[in-house]
Amino acid sequence: MYRLYDFLPSGNGYKIRLLLNALDLSYDLIEVDILKGESRTEEFLKLNANGRIPLLQLENGECLAESNAILIYLAENTPLLPEDRLDKARVLQWLFFEQYNHEPNIAVVRFWMTHGGPTEEQKAQLSAKMAGGYAALDVMEKRLTDQNWLVSDTFTVADIALYAYTHVAHEGGFDLEDYPAIRNWMERIVKRDRHVLITDH
């Protein structure tokens, strides 16, 4: 059975739980409180030298880090990762977009706002982070205006990756009122079988 080391409020960890549940895969959850430094202990660093969650321990004992790498691993040979070469590359395109354009803005601001911030230093960065987050949402809105899902009108791990932090963007002060395509897309995801909330495990 898989073992998932995770911090429940984390969108990156939530991605993995969404996919494990969507694929009806059993797993043990080991909660790691990153706010208390539990991902920086000697014991955890032996599993992941980078000291971050989520971390998936495979059935053979090996460990896999980085949320989007875990998504690709679990989705291989399932309908959630296309076999077509170009469509698979497009899934990867959205995963890279999520980590480079979306997560560094929307997820970071959410973390600041929900963990006692922003500090004075963070306030100096806030305007740029908000602009970057809205720019990422603009890209998604344009894509989803004419189709239900991000890749080939089929639900994939690209949708899971982008949903994780988009659906809690309001916790960072992002207003989705002007993003009807994104809001409809999120509703479609919630209605899928075996959907779980970010607080579920």
Structurally, at CATH architecture level, domain 2-75 sits in 3-Layer(aba) Sandwich (3.40)
What's the pTM value of the predicted model, to 2 decimals?
A: 0.96
Contacts of 100 (CB under 8 A, 6+ apart): none
Handedness of CA 42, 43, 44, 46 (dihedral sign): positive
CA distance 108 to 119: 13
Give, rounded to a whole angstrom, the gap between the first and last alpha carbons of the chain: 15
Question: In the chain, where are the structural domains located?
Answer: 2-75, 85-190
CA distance 79 to 19: 12
Handedness of CA 163, 167, 171, 173 (dihedral sign): positive
Burial of 18: CB neighbours in 10 Å, binned 0-12, 13-18, 19+: buried
Q: Which two tokens stand for residue 42?
A: 């000697």
User: How far apart, in Å, are the Cα atoms of 10 and each of 22, 79, 143, 159?
Assistant: 18, 25, 25, 17
**CA angle 140–148–92, rounded 5-degree value:** 55
Domain 85-190: assigned CATH number: 1.20.1050.10
Q: Encode the chain (201 residues) as per-residue pLDDT tens digits.
A: 999 999 999 999 999 999 999 999 999 999 999 999 999 999 999 999 999 999 999 999 999 999 999 999 999 999 999 999 999 999 999 999 999 999 999 999 999 999 888 999 999 999 999 999 999 999 999 999 999 999 988 999 999 999 999 999 999 999 999 999 999 999 999 999 999 999 876
Q: Which two tokens stand for residue 194?
A: 């075996």
Other Cβ atoms within 10 Å of 2 Cβ, number? 17
